[in-house]
């Protein structure tokens, strides 16, 4: 599973689930869909951070990111899991709150359940310690007033 998470509010913008680890099916797919949901406006600068997995380090993904001059790539330090703590925390939460409590008969069933969890719970109702125990929608509303 590949995710693109907004560090500001911890929203999972998009994700890809694949049985193969090719960039086309993981990082490139998730990145392209992210641009549909969060287009880059006026070349606003942003940082795309990832771990050092091959799907992020390969030429195919690097070329994809390089198409957008306002994006700076950032990668975790070698052997430093803390650099990617937000993604690791999300995966722990997903496993604890959904995966370990269910048996999926096939990839489609797992994908459907994960989608529902992210869109109808994690991104809307779940409270996040990093957001002062607010959900993402409450946090965005609060921050837009400030």
CA angle, residues 139, 143, 146, in degrees to nearest 5: 150
The pTM is what?
A: 0.86
Number of structural domains the chain divides into: 1
| Residue numbers of the domain that contains 44 | 2-145
pLDDT (tens, 9 = 90+) of the chain, 146 residues, equals 999 999 999 999 999 998 898 999 999 999 999 999 888 888 889 999 998 889 999 999 999 999 999 999 998 888 776 788 899 999 999 999 999 999 999 999 999 999 999 999 999 999 999 999 999 999 999 999 87
**Closest C-alpha among 120, 118, 121, 124 to residue 136:** 124
């Amino acid at each position: 599973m590949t995710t693109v998470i907004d560090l500001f509010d911890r929203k999972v913008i998009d994700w890809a689930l694949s049985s193969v680890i090719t960039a086309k099916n993981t990082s490139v797919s998730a990145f392209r869909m992210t641009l549909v949901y969060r287009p880059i406006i006026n070349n606003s600068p942003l940082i795309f951070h990832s771990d050092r997995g091959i799907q992020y380090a390969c030429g195919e993904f690097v070329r994809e990111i390089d198409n957008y001059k306002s994006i700076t790539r950032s990668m975790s330090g070698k052997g430093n899991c803390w650099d990617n703590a937000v993604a690791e925390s999300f995966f722990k939460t997903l496993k604890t709150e959904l995966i370990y409590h269910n048996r999926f008969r096939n990839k489609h069933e797992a994908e459907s359940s994960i989608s529902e969890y992210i869109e109808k719970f994690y991104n809307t109702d779940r409270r996040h310690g990093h957001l002062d125990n607010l959900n993402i929608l409450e946090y965005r509303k609060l921050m837009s007033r400030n």
